[in-house]
Structure 1
Amino acid sequence: MIHLSAFADEISPDLGEQIAVLQEEQIHFIDLRGAWNSNVLDLSDQQLQEVKQALETAGIGVAAIGSPIGKVSITSDFAEHMQRFERALYVAEYLGSPYVRIFSFYPPTLGEALHQDQQDEPGIDAYRADVLQRLAALTEKAAKAGITLVHENEKMIYGDTIARNVDLLQSVNHSRLRAVFDPANYLECQQEPYPQAYEAVKPWLEYVHVKDVNAQGTLVVAGEGEARWPDILQRLRSDGYDGFLSLEPHLAAAGQFQGFSGADRFRQASQALQRLLREINWEYA
């Protein structure tokens, strides 16, 4: 059976409000990205203890740690970033999360890359070997901790396009590095999410982020954009997918490190997804 999760910091920075809305929407898992205006990796041990206690009391499990690992320049200090990654693994273990979400690094100068064609970014292509070496190192460390990394196809990182995403997954070739399928992100990179991206990453697909974008480039609830969510859900079901569908709607704001929807718009996103699931009689928890 599939399970619903959510980046609940899209609801509010306050953990209590995050939990309250998740309970209202009968969502029993969270992708923990932040609380109290702090990134999950910047929470103190005392704050993590408070998070753990609050979630356990509410009956909410941690599906994934929504870390920013890999969302830095490929030329940044990797030893320093590895220390931050070790914190991510600690947080995952402490909160009982099987997954840590990661990215595959920005070009050296993001400002310049933003003016390049998304289909052709020689800035990051030139660093392919470095990207693969870093991802392999992260994956090996995660494997030793018993944690699985799920790579998100975020705009402007190495693995944003279908071809480069498949390249990194094939090249690292490790059971502890799997793919997030984020259809809206593919659309923002002028890639076809379904069926093209889906078919390409299917061998590694282990996590799904739910958001949608319309033809004007505006983020909308699932089913109201160009991502073909009804078709995607039908296909996931027929292929036997039994993982998480994680809401990340970005309906009010979409920043480099965090999106936001607010409680009311998050509820709209949740209800739109659950309506799509009911329409195909796909049971979820």
Structure 2
Amino acid sequence: MSDIMRPLAFEKLLNWILEEYKKHRTIFGIPEEKFYKKNDDYYFEIFGEKCETPLGPAAGPHTQTTQNIVAAFLTGGRFFELKTVQILDELDIEKPCIEATDEGYNTEWSTELTVSQAYEEYVKAWFLLHLLNEMLHLSKSSERTFVFNMSVGYDLKGIQSAKIDKFIEDLKDASQNEFFLKCKRILKTEIEKGKIPFLNNADFAEKISPEISNSITLSTMHGCPPEDQEEICKYLMEKKHLHTFVKLNPTLHGYEYVQNVFKQLGYDHITLKEESFTHDMQYDER
């Protein structure tokens, strides 16, 4: 198996979903009876958007590709923290970036896709989630009831770079982004050809909002000073006008506490370094 992640074209993903569902009543191996269908019209609001369930995947491999976002949606996820992007997007790093056969190990600075590739994965997922919700009647609401939350790292200079700034702005408003417009054209054409079950109104594609995300999660490296995190948050809120989450590192629990928890759970074979905790932000600095 190659260690290079190769994204699939929107047309291929769309045809894959339609053909698999037609032949097997499954999508990416998930049987139709496992699709989550909301049986009431309850929702909560977050950042002015409607969200049908308080569940969804956090940033990581499971929100890095379109297929995984679709799979999470079909099984009940409605809040999606998209995989973190950063300016250094073509690194030579250890593979796999995350190994979780038993306990989990993560290679910091890990990224599998370039920033532009990541953006396209999220746009493809955005269109497919709208389509599947309409096609499969997964919600009783006539409005969108899922939320995309973008995620960036790892320092202010990188976040202010042209590459990351374009990523942020094109998720805030994709109306002029060529890839977004391309996906819209493809979906509209497929509807006009009659290839989408239970959907024959091509205007459906036109009504999909280009405003993909109005919120962001900040992910910083271990050891990032609290004043630096504060500056990044100010930038994201005041300059980018984004609702902002800050992801806190588990080292806030402290070396002794984490060591004791590991021991109690049977993971005393894992060696911790105390400096990994003392070098990071402390609880009273949060």
Fold match, TM over 0.5?
no
TM bracket, shorter-chain basis: 0.3 to 0.5
TM-score calculated relative to the size of structure 1: 0.37
TM-score calculated relative to the size of structure 2: 0.37
Higher strand share: 1
Higher relative contact order (CA 8 A, sep 6+): 1
